[in-house]
Structure 1
């Protein structure tokens, strides 16, 4: 059985969620099936169940399957609703004051059964994606981008690594300035996809934005001639410019005097797409003042204010804002 660390979903469960899993096993409550994809060489790839497997390995600490698990501190259980006596229990006492799980309960856990559902390789490459998307059950759900990441890993891992490389760009990171939680949920990767999708592909208001991003990933994965190098170079040039123009203020709201508040998706869409589309027409550093004035003026434009105010949503905003921004930032 192979557990792929690139799914980026280890340790999303809290200690109480992990403790509830152990509680369920001790109470004899059936654990949801682990879904695995059986490759042609017979190896199982875990599609759904990473949290359950990594929790058990962290608690028992006997199976060196996931190096990342072994680096984590051992799991000390918390008291649960039906088994409050689990509070403070560890699998094996190693230090003074440790409360070791009784041998009988250890044996009970070792004898407990996990159900595995096997997806055969001839089910098609999208079977793994469908299962992962539909059966993220128990505990913390995967974000839309985490699901997309999983699709890329399963179908074409280099594409996933390419997106992660762009998301690690220092200029990009300085302009978006995300919290650790949002990075953990892969929001930075989604912002990379958002920029590429809105810059290079046509969005239809008939689709939900999440469905549109799913379609773009599918198109990129199925396109053997997708211009990865050219797209990466253009992305890097765009965010190097944006960082030089405003740093982490660039995607905040301008109140007429200062940039204030938090990162705005709407400003990110308009500014990054508008400037990227017209990048070849600019002369640097001569046009720096022109662009800084444009970025400030954007926030007082009627179209931008109308479709980014309260009550607006991405499905109605993007068909109006993206074409407007591409024309607004033209030289």
Structure 2
């Protein structure tokens, strides 16, 4: 169906449109990208469709189109305040002219120099002539509504091709967006977010990642990797890493009896023990770079042999150093390290070495 941007803003104001960046990317468009969208609207250039999921109470949750929708809402000064740039519906009815600034100053921003309408540089929404304000509000966008039965059959390739916001989504952003349409998808995504914010994980992993990697939810992907490979599941790897993680998260999300406690407990015991070693650089290579292969190997090697090291920190330190120097492990961690054979081989080697 076609709907005006003014209607979308009103739906957001009335808590009928849900924007959940914790499951997608955070709002991170550049000034040029935002300006280009407003320019396209004013010039009646077609805007890619927005995809929404109709949730149980009839509200719409954005699946694809967060950046575009948030750009329009913030240009009109209606984006709600929330910590860490989270975007949540505003419940109060406000005056159009009332100033409303979120953390980070995302509201009522000014246009940068546009390619086709350079004269509008420096204009905010309420600086524009009334006619242009109404043109923006009345401009229509195609909204594709995915109801529960359609959401469950969406495929990764479909979602990837729908992405058109200028910055390609990363794998974990796509997983969080797609699999939350499953029965327990939101609970699984919530679990990944929760574990990525545990103090032990933040100190050992989170502080080693760049701001861009965190925005792209790479920290949550690392949590998912641990969960997917633990409890001996590394032995059943039959696809390259990305596909294996896709299938694992989908399986959890579709499981009607999913319970997070066993995953949380297993995760906490491993990372709490690693933190006890007093070395927050254990996942770094000799060059001082955080190394995902070391993260996988150390975590799964310990998880599969936990009782051997729970009271022997020195032995655990020695095993970690042995793993870093092990020729077999290093060979399986080189080029094409995300292939199924290399992933399975290095994890098998790590578990074997930690058991010796």
TM-score range, shorter chain: 0.7 to 0.9
Match for residue 325 of structure 2 among 281, 287, 300: 300
Distance 2:149 2:256 in 1: 22
Shift of 1:202: 3.7
Structure number with higher relative contact order (C-alpha < 8 Å, ≥ 6 residues apart): 2
- Deviations 1:241-283, CA, capped at 9 Å, x for gaps: 11222532100114xxxxx411001110111110111112334
Give the corresponding residue for 1:182.
213
Residue 250 in 1 paired to residue 273 in 2? Answer: no
1:1-331 paired onto structure 2 within 5 Å: 1-5=16-20, 6-39=22-55, 41-62=57-78, 66-67=89-90, 71=102, 72-92=106-126, 100-123=127-150, 125-127=152-154, 132-155=159-182, 156=184, 157-176=186-205, 177=207, 178-200=209-231, 201-202=233-234, 206-226=238-258, 228-254=260-286, 260-284=287-311, 287-309=312-334, 311-315=335-339, 316-330=341-355
Q: Deviations over 1:25-84 (max 9, x none)?
A: 112110011122334554333222111111001001258773499623422111122222
CA displacement at 1:144 relative to structure 2: 0.9
Contact 2:235 2:348 in 1 (8 A): no
Please tell me whether the aligned partners of residues 25 and 31 of structure 1 are also in contact (alpha carbons under 8 angstroms): yes
Alpha-carbon separation, structure 2, partners of 1:59 and 1:299: 51
Query: In structure 2, do the counterparts of structure 1 residues 63 and 325 end up closer, same or farther at CA, with 3 Å as the change threshold?
Result: closer
1:183–1:222 Cα change, 3 Å: same
- Which segment is superposed worse, 34-43 or 169-178? 34-43
CA distance in 1, matches of 2:78, 2:258: 44
- The Cα RMSD (Å) is 2.5
Cα deviation, 1:163-183, whole Å, max 9, x if unaligned, reads: 211111111111112222211
- Give the unaligned 5+ runs of structure 1: 93-99, 255-259
Distance change (3 Å), C-alpha of 1:148 and 1:33: same
TM-score between both structures, scaled by the size of structure 1: 0.86
Alpha-carbon contact 1:37-1:128 (below 8 Å) kept: no
Q: Distance in 2 between matches of 1:128 and 1:314?
A: 21
- Give the Cα–Cα distance (whole angstroms) in 2 for the partners of residues 302 and 128 of structure 1: 39
Where 1:253 maps in the other structure, the secondary structure is coil
Cα distance, 1:153–1:40 mapped onto 2, change above 3 Å:
closer
Query: Mean Cα displacement is larger for which, 199-208 or 143-152?
Result: 199-208
The SS at the match of 2:230 is helix
- Name structure 2 gaps, 5 residues minimum: 1-15, 81-87, 92-99
Cα displacement string for residues 173-203 of structure 1 (whole angstroms, at most 9, x for unaligned residues): 1111222221111111100100111123246
Question: What is the TM-score of this pair, normalised by structure 2?
Answer: 0.81
Distance 2:72 2:352 in 1: 55
Query: Aligned pair in 2 of structure 1 residues 12, 238: CA closer, same or farther (>3 Å)?
Result: same
3-state DSSP class of the match of 1:126?
coil
